Structure 1
Amino acid sequence: MYYGLEPSIVRYVIRRVRKEKNLRQEDLSDNKMSYGTISNIERGVNNVDESIVLRYLAKLMLTQKKLKALVTEEQERIESLAFQLEYIESMFDHGKPKEAEKLLKQLSLERYHPLAPYFTYLEGRNLQAKKQFKKAKKQYEFAIRLHNQYKLFYRGNIVSICYNELSICSYTQNEIEKALDYVEKGLAACDENREGKEIKYPLMSNKILYLLNMYQYDAAKQILDELWTFIPQIRNIFTILNIYKFRAIILRKMKMYTEAIDVCREGIDIARRNQVQNRYLDLINVLGSIYLLQAQLEKAMQCFDMVANYDRDQHFPRNLIDALTYLAIIHSHKKCWKDAEQSIEQALDIAKGNSHYRLSKVLIVRGDILSAQNKFKEAIPFYQESEQIAEKNGFKRRQCTALLQLATCFGNMGLDSECSKCMVKLLNLKKELKLYSEDDIYAIDA
């Protein structure tokens, strides 16, 4: 119908030519070609008879030769623009959002431009980098609508890419079920016959993450087993290292510690060789947590000390918070109170400006250190603050842990009324959400 030319570019050229002639779609309609039919031609909707399309092209004085020339010229511009947009995306990927934003603001595209969904997606990335997650989600959703409305397939699998980012925004906002729903939509939309089909792997990896956060280990393991077989095909090193981390975590949950350690060590080696520092430290922390569960305290301490010493400048605060928290737990177990308090206070200082989720755990561990010394009155404010943060942010299992520790403190102080209030709130919370105990490490089994 379009002489073998890329349909989305042809439609863009047709619409642009019409607008350059200052013609509305209604101006070109007649008794054989309605306004609706013209709209369908320009948007690529429905199957319009070829004779009608040729009639429309004739009205715009677009001969086959002229159309081919315009499309060829436009395709060169589009390819140049795509190269520029890929450069901007690479800046976002490598932590240069300010530079990327500056270049992005220099561009402007019509909403029916073949690269409009890609451009809009990058606007979402810009907002996401600023942690304006609600606004970012609107841009990703708009990019999907543009793709669907104008049938813009020039940038392959942009819909799945947008759904992946939507899931990340939702996860960051602790909307785990929404994140999981977006991932499912992204996987359903993924076309493995088009460019960008590798988005399937980050989507699957993120699905595992969300399922682990929902404590659905069996479902997570099932997807992980499938994804593990794809590793030789995966080019994204971050996705590969996430797979290693998730596999180690699931093996740890299954108490298959030897296998978990082997996976961790292999992942650590891959991260080191590829100089992916945050995943390198992440996997060392996971390895340390496995040793912790085995009560191999010296090996565990070695891992956490490595992370703490590696990142003294706090380039990777979340890894540092985890390492310092684990160190505080070990020192507390050994009754080295000064070292425990020093580690947890450092973790507390860092967590206050970085992560509500980690802060809520650090506060509990701070309270535990005081409780272990029978300083119950001093411990209570830390548990209370953790419970408030957890409740405000929807960290239900974390809230249960804080309430249990708080109730224990009140009980030890003989404050039965306060203890009872905490227990009632705890039981109601567990009943409402059908929750069990939080699956996290706060102490070492004797």
Structure 2
Amino acid sequence: MKASVFVSYELGEKIRKTRKQRRITQEDLALSLDLSPSLISKIERGAYQVARDNFEVVCEFLGLDVEVLLENNQVEMDNQVDIRLLLKTIEHDIHLVGTTEVWAELNTINLDKNNHLLGEYYYLQGLIYEAKQSWGKAQEFYEKAIRFADQFQTSNDTNIKSISYYVLGRLFGKQGKLKQALTFIKLGEESFIEGVERSYLKYSLLLSKAIYLEKLNQNEEAFRITEELKNKPFITASTEAKTNLVQLHATLLNKFGLYDQSIQIAEEGVILARLDKLYDRTFELWTTKGESYRKKRSFANAKHCLKTALKLKEKIQYLPLAVSTYTQLGLLYLELTDIQKSQKSLVQAVELGKETKDNLRLMSALIALGNCYLQQQKLTKAQCQYEMALSIAQTHSYTQHEWDILMKLAVTCKQDNPDLYGKYVEQFHQLSLKLWIGGEKSMTFHQNYRIPIHLEAEPPDV
């Protein structure tokens, strides 16, 4: 068995600096020694076990004393945590421990501007700012990570560029900027590299792409991706990502009117989420089952599912999920003609939507509350809810939702305000032409002028 050497981060960095001082590229060094450029890259990144004879020829070519290097390497390994390992543990702690101690630990790391780990460093800074909901600063550091990856191709071995695009997509998705979110996810797909670190990212990118497509009502393409992911079990994914896929699949089946299939899929997801105590996913899946039962007019079952979801409200981390649950409960009571309970639940949904600033869910809650007032012939109150929903739809370019809302607004003012009625009809007409020319299928999800409430999955953590 050949002898090997563990190259620490510091030793790899010394070899890299020496090579650059001698103005030798990785490719030229590899060619001179009959080694692969990828091997040179791995040696310079450090935290890598390499055959001793390969290590020795590299050092000798660069004029470095092998024995002195190895002696210093051992001292470093005995007394210092490898920086690459430290960065990985910081990423772990951001997700599972918290950001306060992590921030102090990250600030102890000093990397020069040419260090190949700087992209990882910027990415982690972005994660911390995102956790603190400092969206602007998070975006700044994610973009720095991408620029660094473009400048230093060795960063591609970690898929840092791809994951930075992924979290940028998630960041814009949280702000309701769905088209921009989808653009970043597609860029993440394009820059993803097979066979290197973060292989799980491929699944998350595809899943997130489907999630944003569904939110933008591009349902057929979203469904195609969910089917593709279902048929590729070999792709690495977390349990949360898998249950996220189940949630999305069930939501799409509801949109297509396949309620029994949606219920079956959601039941499988509930079991998976419950076993791993994924409260957010369990909460969301029970809500989706409630929606399915409501749409198939099995009202007792629908109410039971929604009440089961609300038992978990205090345990979920992402509170906007409850906006959809209260909205579904309000729609259920509306169909049962229990107007008082319907209005109470929908007001709760709207208030929580405003509090949590989840624009898409808030818009759906406002539309549902408008429907409740419309059913009571309280046209002014209905119009007020629809106008707030319209403002959200126009601000965030939710064009197909805007189409729905304009239709409802026209109904509220047809009798009492013909001028305003004409204004909304003209806007509706212009938007219809725009959607038609753009090829968007704006009329595929309307039934009897009812506005559907879509339950959206959230992209998983990575």
The AA in structure 2 aligned to 1:132 is S
Choose the corresponding residue for 2:410, options 376, 386, 407.
Answer: 407
- Paired with 2:95 and 2:232, the residues of 1 have a C-alpha distance of 23
What residue is the counterpart of 1:349 in the other structure? 351
CA contact (8 A) 1:234 1:240 kept: no
Aligned to 2:37: none
Tell me which residue corresponds to 1:107: 109
List aligned pairs for 1:31-430, cutoff 5 A: 38=23, 41=25, 44=26, 50=32, 62-67=64-69, 80-94=82-96, 96-153=98-155, 156-231=158-233, 234-311=236-313, 315-354=317-356, 355-411=358-414, 413-430=415-432
Q: Do 1:198 and 1:234's aligned partners in 2 also have CA atoms closer than 8 Å?
A: yes
Contact between 2:8 and 2:77, CA under 8 Å: does it hold in 1?
no
TM-fit CA distance, 1:256? 2.7
1:22 is matched with none
Q: Among the aligned pairs, what percent are the same residue?
A: 21
1:154, 1:397 → 2: CA distance?
A: 38
In 1, are the aligned partners of 2:249 and 2:265 still within 8 Å (CA)?
yes
CA RMSD in angstroms, aligned pairs only: 3.5
Indicate the structure whose relative CO is greater, using CA pairs within 8 Å and at least 6 residues apart: 2
Deviation at 1:124, TM superposition (A): 1.1
More displaced 10-residue stretch of structure 1: 108-117 or 56-65 = 56-65
- SS of the aligned residue for 1:152 comes to helix
CA distance in 1, matches of 2:67, 2:324: 65
Determine the C-alpha separation between the residues in 1 that align with 2:421 and 2:144: 50
Q: Indicate how the Cα distance of structure 1 residues 57 and 358 shifts in structure 2: closer, same or farther if over 3 A, else same.
A: same
Is the 1:271–1:277 Cα contact (8 Å) retained in structure 2?
yes
Give the drift of 1:244.
Answer: 0.9
- Residue type matched to 2:13 in 1? Y
Q: TM-score, normalised by structure 2?
A: 0.80
After superposition, the Cα gap between the structure-2 partners of 1:324 and 1:174, relative to the gap in structure 1 and judged at 3 Å, is closer
Aligned to 2:50: none
1:375 alignment partner AA: K
Amino acid of the residue matched to residue 309 of structure 2?
A: V
Unaligned runs of 5+ in 2: 34-39, 41-55, 454-462
Equivalent AA in structure 1 for residue 417 of structure 2: L
Range moving further from structure 2, 9-18 or 188-197: 9-18
Q: 2:225 and 2:79 mapped to 1: Cα distance? A: 41
TM-score (norm 1): 0.82
Question: Which residue pairs with 1:13 in the alignment?
Answer: 14
Does the Cα contact within 8 Å between 1:166 and 1:182 map onto a contact in 2? yes
8 Å CA contact 1:307, 1:319 repeated in 2: no
Mapped contact 1:115–1:155 kept (Cα < 8 A)? no
Instruction: Answer whether contact 1:8 1:153 (CA < 8 A) is retained.
Output: no
Counterparts of 1:148 and 1:285 in 2: how far apart (Å)? 43
